Amino acid sequence: MSKPKYTIAVTGLNNTDNPGPGVPVIRALREAKSFDVRIIGLVYENLEPGIYMDGVADKIYQIPYPSVGSDALMQRIDYINTKENLDFIIPNFDAELVTFINSKEKLESLGIKTFLPTKFQFDERDKVNLVKFGEKYGIDVPKSESLTNLNDISKLHNDFEFPVLVKGKFYDAYIAYNSEQVIGHFNKISAKWGLPVIVQEFVKGTEVNVIALGDGNGNTIASVPMRKQYITDKGKAWGGITLGDEKLLDITKKLLRESMWRGGMELEMIKTNSGKYYLIEINPRIPAWVYLAVGAGQNIPEALIKLANNEEVAPYTKYDIGKMFIRYSYDMIGDISQFEQLSITGEL
């Protein structure tokens, strides 16, 4: 019996030292056992490495930044769809998710399916709401405060002990050991990602992460915990290993059950020396280390596509403990004609 073949558009091909999830998501889709794929890469910059990597995307289209507005993005998606007849889109950046979530009906009218959290779920787990989120779902969360101007920083001494974490509303996190460093990080982050900037209590311990997939009905379709073994100066995992952590999995399954989470997510946790877990962040989409989960036996992008297609998907019940991933840099040789074609036409 022949397998169906889907045309799937994927964003996040910036496979740099701050990698997007697009390339590993595509690798996972190409390894899917239940369907074949034609991959359409959607990119914001014309130097995203995934554009030029062999065997990644079959066709590339440049799309406008989310800041331009949803109408411009949907017009571009409409045009791409007339050329490619898209079946699914997997967006992989926090900053673009709201546009895709709000455009669900428009996409469906074009015959394009997604599988994303609801707008309420996206907002509820936002960094500025994380403390309330933890209280609602019974998860310990470090104390945090939203900063909207420099005057707020002078008040930190009343509520926080240094060091603290300074975070952007979408990306970036830095440790600050004094108010002057908080000011520096505040200026840098707010210029890049806007306001608010979040200050979070620094919890000592080991960072452990979980990648998970919820079906929107309270069921956990997939979940794999990982410990970072090598971390870049941007705080990104450059190496990691799967863990056999039942308590962490129980926390994840309880959260997905009670929140009725729909789609992929990543829980970033700190495990203290006393064995207590603190939730420091929730990423509302598939993380960049997803290929480790695939290598451990859970092809999350494949399962996500089946859920988007309204298929019944049996939960994964096991994964390999002790599987490792290690990222590396690799110099690709291309031709300026590729860059020129994408720059001029927006297609490659």
pLDDT digits (tens, 9 = 90+) for 234-247: 777 889 999 999 99
Identical fold, 5-114+331-345 and 143-201 = no
pLDDT above 80: residue 286: yes
pLDDT above 90: residue 230: no
Neighbours of 308 (CB within 10 A): 20
Query: Where does the pLDDT of residue 42 fall: very low under 50, low under 70, confident under 90, or very high at 90 and above?
Result: very high
On whether the CB atoms of residues 198 and 166 are closer than 8 A, the answer is yes
Domain boundaries, the chain: 5-114+331-345, 143-201
Q: Which fold has domain 5-114+331-345?
A: Rossmann fold (3.40.50)
Q: How far apart are CA 234 and CA 289, in angstroms?
A: 15
Query: Where does the pLDDT of residue 107 fall: very low under 50, low under 70, confident under 90, or very high at 90 and above?
Result: very high
Q: Which CATH class is domain 143-201?
A: alpha beta
Residues across the chain: 348
pLDDT given for residue 232 in this prediction: 79
pLDDT above 90: residue 173: no
* H or E element, residue 174: strand 173-176
